Chains A and B, each alone.
Chain A
Amino acid sequence: GAVVSQHPSWVICKSGTSVKIECRSLDFQATTMFWYRQFPKQSLMLMATSNEGSKATYEQGVEKDKFLINHASLTLSTLTVTSAHPEDSSFYICSALVSGQDNQPQHFGDGTRLSIL
C-alpha cells in the first residue's frame, strides 16, 4: 500500500519551455504532498509543501512564480517548472502523507529527471 506515482519519469526539453510534473497517490488520499529537488550526489532539498485546496508553502529561496504547484484533489499534486533553463535541470521527487495519519512517514514517488537543453 501507500504507492505514489510520478509522471513523467524523464523529460528533456528546450530552454524556455514549461514542464509539468504529476504526483499521484494511487491507493490513499493525501491532503499533504511535498516536492523535493535533488542534485547529483546531494541530498533531497525540500522545495515546497502542497496542501489540497490551498496555496503551497515554499521554502526560503524557492521562487514560487518559477515553480508553480497545484494540489486540486486529494490524490494529485502538480509541479510546473515555468520557462525552464539549464540550471533547472535536476531530479524532482514528490512525497505524500496519508490523510488522517499523523506522525507517519512520507511515501515517495520514483522521481522525474528533468534535462533542459
Chain B
Amino acid sequence: SQELEQSPQSLIVQEGKNLTINCTSSKTLYGLYWYKQKYGEGLIFLMMLQKGGEEKSHEKITAKLDEKKQQSSLHITASQPSHAGIYLCGADAGSGNTGKLIFGQGTTLQVKP
C-alpha cells in the first residue's frame, strides 16, 4: 500500500525565516494535497497538485510536485506566527480520484516571534 513520509517531523524557525517541508511517496502520486491543521482542529485545504513539475502558490506558501510525481515540497517564505501549525500532505490512495486520502504523519511548525 502507498505510504507518505514527511520530513522534518517538527520545525522551529525564527519569524521571517524561510522553510521547506518535504513529502515523499512510496508510489506515483496522482494528486498531492497540502493541508494545514491547528492542534486538535479540522484541516484547512491549502492546495492540490496533479501534474509533474506543477507549482502553485498562495500568499507566501509555494508547493511543488516533482517531475516523477513521487515527491512534493512546501515552501514558506518569510514565516510569520500565523504559519504555525501542523502541515499534512495527502494523496489519493487509488490511481485516480477515489476520494480516499492517505496522509503523512504531519510536520509541526513553530514560528518564534
Q: Are A and B a genuine interacting pair, yes or no?
A: no
Interface positions of A (Cβ within 8 A of B): none
